[in-house]
Amino acid sequence: MTRSIPTADRQAPAAPAPSPTPSGVAPPASFTLNAPRPPATAPARTSPPQATPAPARTASAAATPAPAPQAAPAATPAPAEAVPPASRTPPAPPGVPPGAPLAPPPTARRGPVAPVGSPPAPGLYPPPPGAPRIPLRHDVPEAPAETTTRLRPVRPRQRWRTVTAAACVVLGLGLIGGAATGAWLTGDSSAETTKSPYTAARAAWHSVPVDTLFPRTLEGRGAGPGGTHRTWTRIAVAADSPCADGLDPLLLTTLRSVGCERLVRATYTDATRSAVTTVGLVFTEADAAGMQALRTRFTEQKLGARKDLMPRTYAPEGTPAASFGAGQRASWTVDPLTEFPVVVLAVSGFADGRAVAEPQPAADAMASGAATDIAQAGLGHEAKGVADRVERGLRAAVADLTEQPG
């Protein structure tokens, strides 16, 4: 009896089994020559086709023996499913109804322009097809980083340096002011140092050699009584000293108006060693006007003839003038100069230590017709002759000091 199978239970005949493929050979890919090429944009995602469940085998199919294997016809490749082109319109963002106008995309900021010939910076251009994708970098600076030369650090100003500089400035100003004040008070300058005879003569007591101020030998042609020649020899030189050590108090008071700076003295004897003479130079602090006033005073008041203004003697031991003291003074001269700030003085006496009761000025002892013992011995000529020769030597020395070079 034959059982009928309902139509619903009928199954489609089974598809012939694919022909066996040799091991290790991939089946040929199915393609269509005329299939359209997908666009360059990425294809839209589509849901994969759902798998169709295999038909259930019935009992009759199971009981039916399988037919003998036959050669399967060549499989016809199935036509490739055409992929629809992706839509150019981007999907609407959530919350925006379809069809609504979208806001224009933001304008991309333009990066720096690279120099001609330099390779493009990574991320500025899309990579060529087949090249690995390089992630975009959004930290590319718009302009090259500014380069600044590193400056040397400046040390902080130290306070002690400022104080030291200020002290140096004050000290320098003080020195300059003191020099200017000193030059103004003394009334001379560097130019006057080499031109003014007063300046040169005032310093002659320590700038001129002693043999120039007091030569070892003095020649007095026609300096003796009746125009006879005299020669005097130096026997002692005193060290320079204050005026109080070589002048009597009254003479020192008389010279106070011109100011006594220094006193130098020397003692001479004549060729017969019968007379001795002490000659001295008093260097004053006065100017030309002061010296002129002093000379006028001596002339008008006849101070050179006063016995109480006689100079002191210089009589070192062991010399022919050892016995030449205050009581042996016989004749003298005191002559203030007007060309130099110097007072020339001299006093003479007998070398044997003879006391003199009545000293006589040199001008009176040299006068014509003088008959005193002092005049007859020529002691007036001795004092005046030695003083004149020493004065001449001083004038020559000052002239050498003030002579301009060339």
pLDDT tens for 321-337 read: 999 999 999 999 999 99
Phi-psi category of 189—alpha, beta or left, where left has phi over 0 and alpha has psi -120 to 50? beta
The helix (run of H) or strand (run of E) holding residue 349 is: strand 342-350
Predicted local confidence at residue 179, as pLDDT: 76
pTM of the model: 0.54
The token pair at 133 is 């994708």
- CB 366 within 8 Å of CB 293: no
pLDDT band per the 50, 70, 90 thresholds, residue 158: low
The Cα 270–Cα 231 span in angstroms is: 6
At 113-128, the pLDDT tens digits run: 555 555 655 555 566 6
Say whether pLDDT at 283 is over 70.
Answer: yes
Say whether pLDDT at 57 is over 50.
Answer: no
How far from the centroid of its chain's Cα atoms is residue 400's Cα?
A: 43
- CB 394 within 8 Å of CB 340: yes
| Range scoring the smallest mean pLDDT among 65-79, 292-306, 381-395 | 65-79
Average pLDDT over residues 132-156: 57
| Range scoring the smallest mean pLDDT among 90-104, 140-154, 344-358, 382-396 | 140-154
Round the average pLDDT of the chain to a whole number and report it: 74
Quick one: DSSP state of residue 252?
H
Query: Which of 28-42, 187-201, 317-331 has maximum average pLDDT?
Result: 317-331
Say whether pLDDT at 68 is over 70.
Answer: no
Q: Which residue has the higher pLDDT, 69 or 217?
A: 217
The Cα 374–Cα 348 span in angstroms is: 10
The helix (run of H) or strand (run of E) holding residue 342 is: strand 342-350
